[in-house]
Amino acid sequence: MNTQEKEILEGFKSYLSVEKNFSDHTLSAYSSDVVSYILWLDGKNCTDVDFEKLREYLHFIQKFDYKKTTVARKTAAIRTFYKYLFRERYIDSNPAISLSAPKRPKSLPKFLTPDEVERILNNVKIDTPAGFRNRVIIELLWATGMRVSELSNLNFGDLNLDENEIKVFGKGAKERIVLVSDRAKGFLIQYINTARNLLAPGYEIGETTEKSPLFINNTGYRLQNKTIRNAINEVVEKIELPKHVTPHVFRHSFATKLIENGADLRVVQELLGHSGISNTQIYTHISMKHMKDVYDSAHPHSS
């Protein structure tokens, strides 16, 4: 890559992180996709391509045995990249505006039953400050439906626990309010008053202000998403739960439980921070499938 392209890439990363508020995982994937694309150009400047060149690149990556979701992500990365270039006036017109990816296969999100969630929670070791913190985190993921990036970015100023509310900043820096159950709030208050202050022995945590991170690691810095994922993986492996469980699975489980209990779709959309109702409607399909599975297993004349 030439010097200009390196500068563009750094600016693009900042755009994804600050303005688009993408998760670390998505930021890394998009950056890698764009680097691969620039290297494929083999010396041709990324600001000097047309639509046909982009189509040529799509044909190139489809020669590999990528999943449709991977091709769709790579296409989205290129579209976002050229949207950024056009916005920053590196180019006079956007050649990627009509670029389309293969349709993603429709699949229902994985979710946990309330019993499975309780099993996970009850097997988190809470005899250490870090363990108690991890229990609180899983309680909040299950109780609020927050994304893991939203949770790790929480500051003290985002809490309004008197009203059982937390302010979060979702994708695109969109602000919303999520609701907290009394049980999760109780664990959170206990963490703030005890475990948080014990997490970083020998390190200066500093005075707590509205901008102080809510969840910290053993050195007093903001907790990273990877640590949360590892904590969940450790418990799931311990209890040998036959499901792949990520922080996002708790979000799916939260939404599914609300729909099953008759929550209005618009309310669920608001709590999840979905920009459109179509993203929320997937949980009605999950609920219906679950209902049919229960019927098939429980009703004597179901088959």
| 110, 248 contact by CB (below 8 A) | no
| 73, 29 contact by CB (below 8 A) | yes
* Burial label, 273 (beta-carbon count in 10 A; 0-12, 13-18, 19+): buried
Q: Which residue has the tokens 């499901």?
A: 243
| 167, 219 contact by CB (below 8 A) | no
| 151, 228 contact by CB (below 8 A) | yes
> Which residues are annotated as catalytic?
147, 171, 248, 251, 274, 283
Q: For residue 80, what are its two tokens?
A: 């976002």
CA distances from 281 to 145, 255, 259, 268, 276 (A): 15, 10, 10, 10, 9
Q: Which amino acid, one-letter code, is at 266?
A: R
* Burial label, 89 (beta-carbon count in 10 A; 0-12, 13-18, 19+): exposed
| 261, 291 contact by CB (below 8 A) | no
Q: How many CA atoms lie within 13 A of 94 on its CB side?
A: 15
| 143, 254 contact by CB (below 8 A) | yes
Q: What share of the chain is helix, strand, coil (3-state, %, to 5)?
A: 60, 5, 35
